[in-house]
């Protein structure tokens, strides 16, 4: 299955490093990095100085499985910020590394891309030691693994089998 990784207002070299690691872990997925010219200024909320995540997802959706990766600060009401957001019916998600900066940026980005892909592939948040665990801070992102727990991984494989 092909998953498009759309680079929008982001450093492509950072995205490439994260995707390279994901390709080593999830060999059953084919990642394709694309540059997309999205008018994301339409998603900008000047009052909050942030971008509405769902608006970016909707403007990028094209029917393919896709994760938009950006460096802009995202939010979605009622939350103050989000690392990412997936809309499974649109097969599209967005992930921002705005709040993931630091020496662990690449692995944090891997985790958040994987997390949002999990939602696109039918997974909910999980309470196990799992990449699908909800993260409300960078500290919580650092605590979770880059991989799915056994339960979520089984559900993921069932989704992919039924999809193809």
> How many CA atoms lie within 13 Å of 14's alpha carbon, on the beta-carbon side?
23
List CB contacts of 148: < 8 A, sequence separation 6 or more.
114, 118, 123, 130, 131, 132, 156
**Is 112 considered catalytic here?**
no
Kindly name the residue from 12, 41, 116, 161 that is annotated as catalytic.
Answer: 116
Residue 150 and residue 10: Cα distance in Å, rounded?
A: 32
Looking at residue 75, the DSSP 8-state letter turns out to be E
| R_g of the chain computed on alpha carbons | 15
Q: Which residues are catalytic, by number?
A: 116
């Amino acid at each position: 299955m092909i998953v498009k990784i759309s680079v929008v207002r982001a450093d492509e070299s950072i995205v490439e490093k994260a995707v390279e690691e994901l390709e080593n872990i999830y060999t059953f997925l084919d990642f394709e990095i694309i540059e997309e010219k999205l008018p994301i200024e339409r998603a900008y909320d000047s009052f909050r100085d942030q971008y509405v995540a769902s608006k970016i997802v909707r403007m990028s959706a094209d029917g393919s499985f896709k994760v938009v990766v950006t460096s802009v600060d995202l939010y979605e009401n009622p939350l103050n910020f989000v690392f990412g957001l997936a809309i499974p019916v649109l097969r599209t998600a967005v992930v921002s590394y705005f709040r993931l900066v630091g020496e662990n940026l690449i692995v944090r980005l891997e985790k958040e891309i994987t997390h949002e892909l999990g939602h696109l592939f039918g997974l909910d948040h999980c309470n196990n030691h799992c990449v699908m665990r909800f993260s409300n801070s960078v500290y919580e992102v650092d605590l979770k693994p880059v991989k799915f727990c056994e339960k979520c991984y089984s559900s993921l494989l069932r989704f992919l089998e039924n999809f193809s």
